[in-house]
Structure 1
């Protein structure tokens, strides 16, 4: 079936704008009507009045209408608009000045004005104003009878009535056609607006849900040159402010930065995006209204003018504080894991060496036992083996303590420090070489802290035991003191002696795993490493003060809670 569009505009014609499509269709239809009206009137003149020759009016209408149709069908829609109005005015002018006002030709002037309004619209009102004035000029000239003056005697009243009636009908139909196209266009425009409004609301709802789901605050740098910004309510909420408390501008943004030194970097990131069009995605810490600090990830996209000048930029701020905290924890755990792996490698090597040495010694003593029957020598060899086995037991205990400290959870409880120190000193007094040492405790009986009692007990036992081992046992006035003092929110415990002391070159490594301060050291090198590790696990710190030949003091500082 042949459609009106194919007849008027041709095959495979596509006009993107609905308005332009309707106007082009109306111009084509009007051109067809113009040719049809002229031919119809010519037929009536021929049949009724016997005028077989086309008059100038009909010739203008037929040729002009065909020219408009061809122009419009060829795709010159703007030219066709003007051409059809000019042809219509030319026809009417000739008709009015040659036939007078008695045939009602003036009625078509309204069709021209209505058509011009439809074709050019309000945005180009000057065109329909021009054509309206031209129509008025044609009317004035024809009414003045300046050209081809017509008198009432020349008019056939029957012919006049008939032609006036036909002109009225055709004029009315033309107005109806124009109004129909206008209504059709208006209806389609309303439908398009409603559809766009629906899609816009859906898009806004989708955007709102997406933004709420990402917990993002939106900012809009509306005019980059004038620093005109808009911040969404969610952005203010993330920072802890009300919209009327801080202004959305660069100065506020600068003041919100946790570190003022970050501002030049932020400016550089913006410039790289606005000038070099590099992606804008940054992480910064901001200070909130309540004094807390939050990490935010900022991202945005600018809009540039044709001259590559930035006009506007829209972006978002997303709270990534929890993510940064997790990253820091992961980084800490990775660092701890790397440290643990390094220590484990060293631990395995040192343990295998320290276990092999006494075992080799024991194996050697056993071999000697196989070569002698002397009871005294065998007894001496057995005592030497017992000493080495005891050393192995001590070393194994230290390894177990290290493993337990690494894996056992912190168990905090109220610890009375005087009672704990007394227990440690009482146990130490019965150890080998402790009988001649004066043990002193200077801790208030009411002092107590909230900590892991088991770990603190091991720490003090280890420090006191080391003080006994490395004391100067050939001198008088030997002492080991355990002192305690409250320092506000922390508590200081000091274990000191007047023993051998530690060489200066060894003090920086004294807490390292398997480190021995000298060849005379009888321990495994794990004791002080375990002490430091335990103290740090319960939130404290330990430091060493020692002078060779004068004595040593280990100071532990622990949180009270």
Structure 2
């Protein structure tokens, strides 16, 4: 080697030494005999403070370690041998100094000199602060995860490629119940939707695209979750970082119970409006119909006082009696209407023979009752349960109508009552050969205070009460009639057995 070459080598050696000594990392070079070629002050002081070993050029690092820590010597030898085999190695060591733990990242890598011999470069750096930050991040992530999973509503995050960034347990559970799919991070949320629901995919794609353009969204959806239709309020929020949308957060809240409560309240309000309207009409019509017979009685009493002929008193008393009966009938209808509206259904075993006989007996003193022949056919062989008082109201009203609207021109007036039943239901049919109902009035007979004409004898409440009582028993009623031939009512009520 020439003098110039030796001079150049010295310059490069000085430069190399300067670089090592100024490096941020701790640097150590070992030859193939594990002897120290060079090291910088950082490595020197770390070994001295940690192990009490003073490393010098030319000294064997393994022999220096052996006197202090045999296990450490073995570890370092294995690491160096691995590096000599051509495989770089990175490890993390923990050192305790003055009661405090320090974390170090150490790299072992081999290189070949021009003369063919190998050397080991060892670089180490203090990662204690980084470890502390990592622990803090993990703690924060654990805290965030805990917060997410304690939220009772569904929450999930999606990046610009529609991939799931994160989600909470509620969303995981509901998604699995709805679609049978287990969610996992990194999956395309659109591709996880069932293939046979392309319209659902496109709907959610549009929502995600809108949020990724920086617009918040609010939607209301209904999904089948665990065989139950549930309603959700869904909101989408863009995630903005440095003025750019990097993803979106989706928040879903189950509002099924709230929606059902609102629907129930709406139905109740509508029913209340209907009831109030009916009540107004009822008060108006009832007051008029109650007052009419009273005014008639009052007028007839004045006639008795003013008429000098006492022979007419009997006629006036008969008219008064008719008005009083009409008033009594109307009051009975009002009482039945009130009972049906307010009383709970109280099922008991029904004997239809006794029920029908009681109804007929209660009406036997009604004018014209003796002129209507009853035909009975009862075939109920199983125990049948229903509300006795409501059935009696139904029977009384329909039978009294058959008497009241009998055809006086027919020699034989009759009412046929046909009752058949099984374990599930009973069908009751009332058929008479009375005056009948005109076609234009058939659909209106169940309305409150409906009268076909001014000569109608009833209060207009009877059939309205019948229909209301049947509905209270969860049954149905149908009517068919032909003017001049008669009327038929068919009632079907379920068996309310215990």
TM-score tier, shorter chain, comes to 0.5 to 0.7
2:195 and 2:338 mapped to 1: Cα distance?
50
Give 3-state SS (helix, strand or coil) of 1:444's partner: strand
Q: Does 1:109 align with 2:19?
A: yes
Give 3-state SS (helix, strand or coil) of 2:379's partner: coil
Q: Does 1:283 align with 2:221?
A: yes
Q: Is the 8 A contact 2:363 2:369 kept in 1?
A: yes
Cα shift at 1:480: 0.6
Distance change >3 Å, CA 304–CA 508, structure 1 → 2:
same
Higher fraction of helix? 1
Q: Does 1:195 align with 2:130?
A: no
Unaligned runs of 5+ in 1: 1-95, 119-127, 129-167
Cα shift at 1:542: 1.2
Q: Does 1:438 align with 2:362?
A: no
Give 3-state SS (helix, strand or coil) of 1:485's partner: strand
Distance change >3 Å, CA 265–CA 207, structure 1 → 2:
closer
TM-score by length of 1: 0.61
Q: Does 1:417 align with 2:327?
A: no
Match of 2:149 among 196, 208, 214: 208
2:243 and 2:15 mapped to 1: Cα distance?
58
1:387 and 1:229 mapped to 2: Cα distance?
86
Distance change >3 Å, CA 337–CA 306, structure 1 → 2:
same
1:335-346 equivalent positions in 2, closer than 5 A: 335-346=270-281
2:264 and 2:222 mapped to 1: Cα distance?
18
Q: Is the 8 A contact 1:256 1:286 kept in 2?
A: no
1:224-303 equivalent positions in 2, closer than 5 A: 225=162, 234-235=170-171, 237-238=173-174, 241=177, 245-246=180-181, 277-286=215-224, 288=226, 292-301=227-236, 303=238
Match of 2:327 among 389, 392, 400: 392
Q: Is the 8 A contact 2:216 2:238 kept in 1?
A: no
1:319 and 1:481 mapped to 2: Cα distance?
57
Distance change >3 Å, CA 429–CA 351, structure 1 → 2:
closer
Higher fraction of strand? 2
Cα shift at 1:298: 4.3
Give 3-state SS (helix, strand or coil) of 2:458's partner: coil
Q: Does 1:493 align with 2:440?
A: no
Most deviating of 534-543 and 421-430: 421-430
CA RMSD of aligned residues (A): 4.3
Cα shift at 1:371: 1.6
Distance change >3 Å, CA 523–CA 281, structure 1 → 2:
same
2:486 and 2:166 mapped to 1: Cα distance?
69
Deviation readout 1:316-350 (Å, 9 max, x if unpaired): 55544433433333222222111101101111111
2:386 and 2:200 mapped to 1: Cα distance?
40
1:122-161 equivalent positions in 2, closer than 5 A: none
**1:27 matched residue in structure 2:** none
Cα shift at 1:237: 4.8
**1:503 matched residue in structure 2:** 438
1:308 and 1:492 mapped to 2: Cα distance?
74
Deviation readout 1:361-387 (Å, 9 max, x if unpaired): 222222223322322223322322222
Q: Is the 8 A contact 1:269 1:280 kept in 2?
A: no
Give 3-state SS (helix, strand or coil) of 2:374's partner: strand
Q: Does 1:327 align with 2:262?
A: yes
**1:475 matched residue in structure 2:** 410
Give 3-state SS (helix, strand or coil) of 1:432's partner: coil
1:242 and 1:514 mapped to 2: Cα distance?
52
2:396 and 2:181 mapped to 1: Cα distance?
59
2:347 and 2:177 mapped to 1: Cα distance?
40
Q: Is the 8 A contact 2:145 2:168 kept in 1?
A: no
Cα shift at 1:530: 1.0
Distance change >3 Å, CA 504–CA 315, structure 1 → 2:
same
Distance change >3 Å, CA 274–CA 330, structure 1 → 2:
farther
1:538 and 1:477 mapped to 2: Cα distance?
34
Distance change >3 Å, CA 378–CA 432, structure 1 → 2:
closer
Most deviating of 356-365 and 463-472: 356-365
1:269 and 1:534 mapped to 2: Cα distance?
52
**1:375 matched residue in structure 2:** 310
TM-score by length of 2: 0.68
Q: Is the 8 A contact 2:232 2:256 kept in 1?
A: no
Distance change >3 Å, CA 253–CA 322, structure 1 → 2:
farther
Cα shift at 1:511: 0.9
Distance change >3 Å, CA 194–CA 271, structure 1 → 2:
closer
Cα shift at 1:187: 3.7
Give 3-state SS (helix, strand or coil) of 2:236's partner: strand
Unaligned runs of 5+ in 2: 1-5, 28-37, 50-101, 105-124, 184-188
Cα shift at 1:556: 1.2
**1:359 matched residue in structure 2:** 294
